[in-house]
Structure 1
Amino acid sequence: MNVGIVRSSLLALAAALTLSAQPAGPDAACFACHGRKPAASAKGKQPPFVDKAKFEASIHAGNGCTSCHADLDTATHPGAKLAPVDCASCHEKPSKTYAVSTHGRARKAGNAGAAGCAECHGTHDIVKATAPTSPVRRENLHLTCGQCHPDVVAQLDASVHGQATAAGVQEAPVCTDCHSDHAIEGLKSASPMKVSQQVCSRCHGSARMNAKFDLPDNRVTTFFESYHGMAAKMGSPNAANCASCHGYHLVLPASDQRSSVNKANLVQTCQKCHPNATEKFSLGKIHVDRKEASDIGGKVDHWVRYTYLSLIFMTIGGMALHNILILRKKALAALRDPNRTVVRMNTQARIQHALLASSFIFLVVSGFALKYPNSWLGWCMGSSEVVRRIGHRIAAVVMITGAVIHLIYAIFTKDGRKFVKDMLPEPKDLFDVFTHLKYLVVPGAAKPQFKRFGYAEKAEYWAVVWGTFLMGTTGGLIWFKMYFTRWMPRWMVDVSITVHYYEAILATLAIIVWHFYFVIFDPEVYPVNWAFLDGKVTPHHHHEEHPLDHQGEEPSPDPDEPAE
């Protein structure tokens, strides 16, 4: 008779006899076989042992065996070997994260020895991560990871980080703080920027951590001010990062003779990247804080720096003042030019433009100051959110008021109605776009003839109308969100914030790139078109830019035709 059949029959009989003596339960049959410790002589002949007491104390105690071993067929078991447990059936998100980790990719590539869920968390004895006996608890991680990485963990235990962990310091970094947990990643091939900014700076860039453990608070800032740090920020894959000098796992204080930054080992450390490094070369400092310079080299460097700063301020400041005076002289000459006789903007139009321009500029500065509070924009707002917020809302009211004044002007005044009529798009504008592009690109092509307003001015005007309406609507909804969310979804406020922000970017760039060119940087109007102040331009400029418009100018001979 087949030995395997006999053994299976005996096991089934033993299970049945055991069941009769145990209380009924979903896992009773399983523990009848798997709950017995195998005899030393029967090694390899009995089913795998599961300690019932540990299982019942585990986090999965309320689950039945078949909740994990879903492929078990009670009718034929014991029979075919069960498939590995699929933890993703309950832990989908951590499993997806694990799949892209170093361990997950190694297993997918066929490395069966790579750590999986069970190697780190256990099997039938899994407990909460915070439990004292959990293999993934911070204090126990070095033992868990050390099963596969004994040499690395030995170095970590000897380092300042490992010693702090052993002393009970909860903030001390362990394996998962640097390498992550389910998304375990190797850092040997990581970019210098990733290691320095995302790994080491998490602790050494924290003012709270540095103050609590009496660590230097300038190590991160001075590193990124050094050549290595700047090269890392520029994307250099070979620039030295924190670990290049201080080590990865065996991080020790410079006073320790084993430390890679100990004075006796500095030459060897530098030679890893600079093969010809000498002892004098290795004395160069990476973390240079000029405020703390006390040696002769630091003092000389300090005075040279301040000498150059003074020289730069005086030289460039003098040049800037000189050119500002020239610009002022030319701008005043342009303003006093007696030939500026053609009126392009009447008084009402200039007042409306002043309201729009002043409110727009303040809105731009105060709006982006919220996004970039540490920039010069925040400084302009006094680095105060109260000043910024109130100022922004006042400017918004000014802009809306200006829009209402313009609407009244456009409806109830003759000049306003004519202005809007002249601003209306027409088929000629589309034709002018292609004619103008041809003129700008093709030598000898004819210049288009514009009326009072060309396609560029019309496009800008209607863009301002649309932008004012959109920014006013979304801004009002954000301002009075407590009222509007009484009867509309909260997500509409979030969408309004997004629209408000990106419309502000679009409007600001359009003014700088488009409007400022025509009123400042165009060689024919540089240094500035003074029409915004007194509404006037020269007949020559008006003839060149708007030959089909004779409003505001007296008939004059062709400027190229000789006078009688």
Structure 2
Amino acid sequence: MIKSVLISTSWIFCILLLITMFPVIAESASVSLTEESFDNRTCFECHDGREVIKVLDTSPYAENGEKRDLVAIPPNLYATGVHARMLCTDCHHHIVHLQPPHQAEGLKKVDCASCHEALAQSGEQKAHAPPSPGNEKVRSNIKKYRSSFHARPNRDNPDFPNATCHECHDSHFFSIPMDQGSPAYGRWRLTINKLCGKCHEDQIEEYDVSVHGIALKDKGNLKSATCIDCHTAHEVTGAHLEVFKLQSPDTCGHCHQARKKTYRSFYHGQMTKIGFSETAKCYDCHGSHKIFSAKDPRSLVHPKNRLKTCQKCHDGQRRPLATEGFASFSPHDDAMDYDQAPQLWIAARFMNVLEWVVFVFFSLHTVLWWYREWRERRNETGSSGLAMSGLKMEEGSRHFQRFPLVWRVAHLLFALVVMILLLTGMILFNTESSWAPALVRLLGGAAKLGFVHHVMAVLLVSIFLLHIVHVLQHLFRKKGFDWFGPDSLLPNRKDFTDCIDMFRWFVGRGEKPRFDRWTYYEKFDYWAVFWGVAVIGSSGAILAFPHIAGEYMGGWVFNVSIKLHGEEAFLAAVFLFTVHFSNNHFRPSKLPPPDVVMFTGSLSLEELQRDHPAQLERIRAKGELDSYLVEKPSVAMVLGSKLLGLLLLATGLVLLFMAVSGYTW
């Protein structure tokens, strides 16, 4: 009996002990279950998408009590993403409860950027841990994103950005195929526009019917442009911003390289390249999303629509009104394609031939002359030596007046204007050079340079016309002037024979010609100005008043004028700063430079006898030498002239470097 009671008592004690310990055991079991259950399989029990589950919508856009579908993450798709080996709570670290609501506080957005940056920092702290290429790429994209339009606060809800990483990438399934030739990469390309279209519905509707959309979706051309090809994936900016406008030709040119090249060859492309955003870009003429073939009647550049398209900018208010002739301008004419642009092809070939003839002839002339003088100076012999025989003592101490004051002033002004024109103009024709955009910014921008260029052009033409008036007035006042005599700048037979004799002297086959007042190379310099001003001036006038020129001559004249204007300016720059400088400043008999006769107006009789012996003999024979003699220029005048000459020489050589380095051969 006692034994039975003891057994019963023991059982009762055990039962009471179990009852007492149950809360502790239950809590321990609960904690253990919770810790073990925070794996992805537990999350997928509700979030696998097999059934639609409605939950309270806590987003800032939801109305009170509104419900939404629970986010569905099919496990098989999650397994294909780059985050497949991560736990859900690695990103959703604010989740602390197994049962909903999972988070202790309100709904929080996952911050992809902070996670990847922390990952990189932890790797950097390990001395032997090289940076992950994948994570470095992500960090680079994060930096781009934070300065983009998508990262800005949303207008309707400033607490949230316009777009997050997850909204574009879907971090649960994110996996971009690296092999661009793989079928998977092609399938991914086809999803890009649909993804962007979730927010940009109107733009996608236009894109779908465009040449790009049809080529991609209907024809399966995976090289056709998608949203990110034009707007980029992470550096998305507003299309109204200057940075987007200036970059757009390069963006389009990534696929349309030939069109980009021709666009850059003419005014719109040239101005854009040097940083002026107010000229037409690709999308101004062709459209942005709704782009059609130029042969399609819906295209903005179709012949029936082209005038209206041009008048968007050339509207008669900001710019002169575009006319039918103006609108026939083709911004993509190729100077190498005769069938496409015969007038431009002829102009380009003409200028190429002219440049080669001038450069080859005068390069040979300059090199041979320099070598002959150098050899004579080394041997201290030759007909170019200074001979003082026959000169009176008082004559040797005075100078010969070669250029009157009006000529010297005109020459100086002309030189300054030409240099400024070359500086401001060569920038436009050498936009592919490394120095052009930087120089534009340094000088105040493209608009200011254009204004300066136009002012200088007016001054150049004015100086040129005043010179012609002055010369004609002088000729008509001078009775019995010999138009082909030694005082005339018109070419004559002696100039041709002198040129031939000069080459014979270069190679030691004859004596040096005895030049009179004007040499054949000086006459060439003089008349080259007439040719240059005529070509550059007329083409410049056409470009300055395109609405008038286009109305009466047609749009083809713009491309021809641009070609002539640029090529003739290049020819002038190279000729002036090589041949002209060498003839007048860098020949051995002229060293050290500069020769200042064009600034002082006079030269010694020794120099006159060396360079123009026939003139000196002729004047002395007539007994007129005294009327040409003047006092030697003062030391201050000579010093100032040399400093000015050195400055102009240095400027010219810099301009020469700019012209040659930026020229497209």
TM-score (norm: length of structure 2): 0.41
By relative contact order (CA 8 Å, sep 6+), the higher-ranking structure is: 2
